[in-house]
Amino acid sequence: MTTLNVFDQNAPANPRVVTEDAGKIANLLAEHGVRFEQWTTRDLPADASAEEILGAYADEIRALKDECGFQAADVISLNPDNPQKEVLRRKFLDEHVHSEDEVRFFVRGQGLFYLHFGDQVYAVLCQKDDLISVPDGTRHWFDMGPEPEFTCIRLFTNPEGWVADFTGEDIASRLPRYERLAGAAG
């Protein structure tokens, strides 16, 4: 189930807010300009190709492109047997910003977005059916866990794709990781 934990960055041991209510999650995130929606996923084979996934969601992708000016869409998929899983996890675990919105629609599996607003960190465990759009300039990081298992559609205004500017802050190392938060949700 999708969950939201809100932490005080100066006392990160225990969250201030914990909820599984999708409407409440959407409202709390909207206060910071974050778009959160739940869409209905399509029945696709587990081994569906990127082209099949993009084709199955072509109408939704087109609508988001028209609404938000996105130029490109792709699919990222990771499984526990990926030999690069540790390298990829570390790549996204440090706080960073982008010069464009970061949009992910979870077709399969789950991942944990951390959004840093002032002295608060919102940890959103996104799962299948969740769409999240993190506004450009928002400090954040992503934890896929030690055994990643997810497929996401990503949308970009920059045709080059994912480009991050790392903040150099160590805040990501001070908050509970995927193993604790996803374990508590499951």
Residue list for the binding site for Ni(2+): 96, 98, 102, 140
36: left (phi over 0), alpha (psi -120 to 50) or beta: beta
Binding site for Fe(2+), by residue number, is 96, 98, 102, 140
Q: Is 88 helix (H, G, I), strand (E, B) or coil?
A: helix
Binding site, by residue number, is 96, 98, 102, 140
In angstroms, rounded to a whole number, what is the distance separating the alpha carbons of residues 167 and 140?
A: 10
C-alpha closest to that of 124 among 14, 28, 12: 28
In angstroms, rounded to a whole number, what is the distance separating the alpha carbons of residues 12 and 121?
A: 9
In angstroms, rounded to a whole number, what is the distance separating the alpha carbons of residues 33 and 36?
A: 10
C-alpha closest to that of 65 among 41, 96, 98, 100: 100
